[in-house]
């Protein structure tokens, strides 16, 4: 089939008038070179993208039609497994597409994206609504053969059947057409929403001068100077409109007026009443999602979305959030009182406002715990933390990370570095890990992990190709990049995702997916290793002296571990609650700004805190459907995280207990989605996770 697909792709491109064959369009070509073939990131050319996507989609449909029209009786092998083998050309093209979308976006790419995103959605809908194909899938799922399959094969058949059934395969006539039209329109809207956020992040930069640097650390000042130069403002200092720049500025700057300006600029993304305003877009998104859910027989989008999640229903997700919410609000009151007392003693003559919270929280931290975040940052070098992650991966997963020779593996930017991952015990090759650490124009904000190729057998073991991406502010040449304690945890968090896909032992591509309120668990758990003894002793070292972080400073960090939990929980849970409200309501006539304000008032949201993601820039839920009605998943996963962390704390070898680590990898990392998450966790822990561990972890009262 592979040669047939390549021939078809070549013919399609030639027919399109471009005069190129499959061998000329690098985006379509087989990946060649070392490590089982790698993406030709150094040769990707934007004008190849549209024809490559069109040809790959057409070839994919040919593969699907061949399965659907197979005259032989439907079996697991000729239907389910055959489907798992399809779409490899499109997978390759979408790996490049993802780089342009997340790491190298430009106005020229966005024009192509605006055109192709709905076409890609239409393509997926054509497959999910292929009646003949679904009939074969259903035949296999309901057959006696199912009883003879391995458990992972049974789960695969169920996942495929459920995916089709929940995505319109059972619809007919006008309902089927309307469903397809909704999907196409949603793809357009998701793309526009995300691009509007990126435009506001790129377009709104605050420039300050040397007289306005009071309170800022030397490392931040140096990075801000570099950022200003890159934006054509040499001699000034740039506060970019991203969390990685906003957060430390609000924490440290003595300039209250500037703090307010930076705060308002950041939290107004997508809400400026201009051509990048997202309010109408998100309203239409909600209306279409609600309509689509009703077409499928569900009361609302959230009820449809949560069917295959651990929570199962919106009510269970809300129950968890509402159990933590009162404790978070009570803690916020305490935090604000402490901050106001500091401001009053200083004679500041102010009432704490949202742009003061981070700043005065730092003052309280220093006063209560004698803990200075800038002092901690001196021991948090990006390169050293990366080495610490490799150490942890070696101890728990038996992975060894070795940098590849520069130039031997193509990269899409000079800042990207690549490591080969091998198994320390057998020496076997596992995969490649790419790291893209620095912020730049055209790169989406935040931190994330992604895969270019997942591990799967299907008769041939595949090398895993995956990456971690961050937005740290690049320092001056030769200077180490110092990051905050929160960013250090995030770095480990995203690496947890990387370890999840690198440790996979599944046989089928679909089983490399995940359940959203479960897959954050593995990454959140890895954050716990930042403050383990080997990491403290060997990698948290002063950037100037090389001395390990002092024991007394570590003790302060541990003592302050539940500090500011009111702020952190309130800003997050408010966003998660609004997400669930949006997706359980009838959004007809919705005014997002008014609804957000009214809903937060009903929740008794403290005036000193804003949602972590205000609605017009809530990319998690409106630039795609990945976290839609699922942002609660971080909290759900953190129940598992806190519970599992207590298991390690009680183990004879602590966080490096070999037996428990093997249990963790074998049952919670390697199986990916080949085992039901609840069953997997019970196998690991011997019982279900308990919320009490979460409450203890955050310093909240444990419910009776």
Active-site positions read 494
Q: Of the candidates 240, 124, 262, which has an alpha carbon nearest to the alpha carbon of residue 190?
A: 124
Q: Of the candidates 67, 73, 69, 76, which has an alpha carbon nearest to the alpha carbon of residue 141?
A: 76
Structure tokens at 648: 């390690």
What does the alpha-carbon distance between residue 169 and residue 173 come to, in Å, rounded to a whole number? 11
User: How many residues belong to the chain?
Assistant: 704
3-class secondary structure, 313: coil
CB 526 within 8 Å of CB 496: yes
Residues 6+ away with beta carbon under 8 Å from 19: none
CB 653 within 8 Å of CB 662: no
In angstroms, how far is the first alpha carbon of the chain from the final one?
60
What does the alpha-carbon distance between residue 242 and residue 205 come to, in Å, rounded to a whole number? 9
3-class secondary structure, 431: strand
Count Cβ atoms below 10 Å from residue 696 Cβ, excluding itself: 15
Report H helices in 204-276. Answer: 218-230, 243-252, 256-267
What does the alpha-carbon distance between residue 156 and residue 674 come to, in Å, rounded to a whole number? 7
Count Cβ atoms below 10 Å from residue 203 Cβ, excluding itself: 12
φ, ψ of residue 548 to 5 degrees: the values are -65, 155
What does the alpha-carbon distance between residue 314 and residue 585 come to, in Å, rounded to a whole number? 12
Count Cβ atoms below 10 Å from residue 515 Cβ, excluding itself: 20
Q: Of the candidates 664, 370, 622, which has an alpha carbon nearest to the alpha carbon of residue 503?
A: 664
DSSP 8-state assignment for residue 211 = G
CB 68 within 8 Å of CB 133: yes
φ, ψ of residue 334 to 5 degrees: the values are -65, -45
Find the radius of gyration of the CA atoms of the chain.
25
Indicate the pairing of strand 417-423 with strand 237-239.
unpaired
DSSP 8-state assignment for residue 38 = B
What does the alpha-carbon distance between residue 502 and residue 694 come to, in Å, rounded to a whole number? 28
Structure tokens at 677: 């998450």
CA of residue 314 relative to chain centroid, distance: 22
DSSP 8-state assignment for residue 76 = I
CB 128 within 8 Å of CB 136: no
3-class secondary structure, 465: strand
Residues 6+ away with beta carbon under 8 Å from 379: 540, 541, 542, 543, 548, 549, 553
């Amino acid at each position: 089939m592979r040669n047939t697909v390549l021939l078809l792709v070549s013919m399609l491109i030639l027919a399109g008038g471009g005069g190129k064959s499959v061998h000329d369009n690098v985006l379509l070509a087989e990946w060649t070179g070392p490590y089982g073939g790698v993406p030709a990131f150094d040769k990707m050319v934007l004008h190849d993208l549209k024809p490559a996507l069109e040809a790959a989609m057409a070839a994919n449909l040919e593969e699907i039609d061949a399965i659907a029209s197979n005259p032989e009786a439907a079996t697991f092998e000729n239907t389910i497994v055959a489907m798992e083998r399809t779409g490899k050309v499109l997978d390759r093209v979408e790996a490049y597409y993802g780089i342009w979308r997340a790491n190298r976006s430009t106005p020229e790419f966005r024009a192509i994206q605006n055109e192709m995103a709905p076409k890609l959605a239409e393509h997926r809908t054509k497959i999910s609504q292929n009646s003949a194909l679904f009939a074969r899938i259903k035949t296999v799922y309901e057959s006696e053969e199912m009883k003879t399959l391995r458990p992972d094969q049974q789960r695969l058949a169920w996942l495929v059947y459920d995916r089709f059934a929940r995505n319109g395969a059972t619809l007919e006539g006008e309902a089927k057409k309307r469903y397809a039209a909704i999907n196409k329109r949603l793809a357009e809207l998701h793309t526009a929403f995300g691009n509007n956020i990126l435009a506001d992040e790129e377009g709104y930069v605050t420039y300050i001068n040397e007289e306005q640097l009071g309170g800022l650390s030397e490392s931040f000042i140096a990075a801000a100077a570099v950022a200003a130069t890159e934006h054509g403002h040499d001699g000034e200092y740039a506060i970019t409109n991203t969390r990685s720049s906003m957060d430390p500025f609000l924490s440290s700057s003595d300039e209250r007026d500037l703090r307010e300006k930076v705060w308002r600029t950041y939290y107004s993304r997508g809400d400026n009443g201009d051509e990048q305003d997202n309010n109408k877009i998100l309203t239409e998104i909600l209306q279409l999602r609600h309509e689509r859910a009703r077409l499928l027989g569900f009361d609302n989008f959230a009820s449809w979305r949560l069917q295959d999640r651990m929570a199962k229903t919106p009510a269970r997700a809300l129950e968890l959030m509402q159990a933590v919410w009162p404790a978070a609000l009570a803690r916020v009151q305490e935090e604000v009182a402490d901050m106001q007392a500091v401001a009053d003693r200083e004679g500041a003559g102010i009432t704490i406002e949202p742009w003061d919270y981070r700043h005065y929280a730092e003052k309280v931290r220093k006063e209560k715990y004698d803990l200075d975040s800038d002092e901690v940052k001196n021991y948090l070098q990006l390169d050293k933390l990366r080495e610490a992650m490799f150490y942890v991966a070696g101890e728990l997963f038996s992975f060894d990370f070795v940098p590849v020779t520069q130039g031997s593996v193509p990269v899409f930017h000079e800042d990207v570095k690549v490591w080969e991952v091998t198994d320390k015990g057998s020496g076997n090759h596992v995969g490649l890990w790419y790291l893209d650490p620095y912020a730049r124009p055209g790169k989406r904000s935040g931190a994330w992990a992604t895969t270019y190729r997942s591990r799967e057998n299907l008769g041939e073991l595949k090398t895993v190709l995956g990456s971690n991406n961050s937005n740290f502010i690049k320092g001056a040449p030769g200077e180490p990049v110092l990051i905050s304690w929160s960013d250090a945890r995030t770095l480990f968090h995203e690496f947890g995702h990387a370890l999840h896909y690198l440790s996979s032992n599944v046989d089928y591509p679909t089983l490399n997916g995940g359940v959203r309120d479960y897959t954050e668990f593995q990454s959140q758990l890895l954050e716990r290793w930042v403050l383990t003894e080997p990491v403290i002793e060997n990698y948290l070292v002063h950037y100037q002296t090389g001395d390990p972080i002092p024991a007394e400073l570590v003790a302060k960090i541990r003592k302050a571990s539940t500090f500011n939990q009111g702020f952190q929980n309130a800003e997050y849970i408010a966003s998660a609650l609004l997400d669930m409200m949006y997706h359980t309501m009838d959004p007809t006539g919705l005014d997002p700004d008014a609804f957000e304000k009214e809903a937060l008032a009903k929740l008794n949201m403290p005036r000193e805190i804003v949602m972590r993601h205000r609605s017009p820039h809530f990319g998690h839920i409106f630039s795609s459907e990945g976290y839609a009605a699922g942002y609660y998943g971080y909290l759900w996963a953190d129940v598992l995280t806190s519970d599992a962390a207590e298991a390690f704390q009680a183990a004879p070898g602590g966080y490096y207990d070999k037996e428990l680590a093997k249990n963790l990898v074998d049952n919670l990392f390697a199986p990916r989605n080949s085992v039901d998450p609840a069953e997997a966790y019970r196998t690991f822990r011997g019982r279900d996770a308990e919320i009490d561990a979460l409450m203890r972890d955050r310093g909240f009262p444990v419910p009776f």
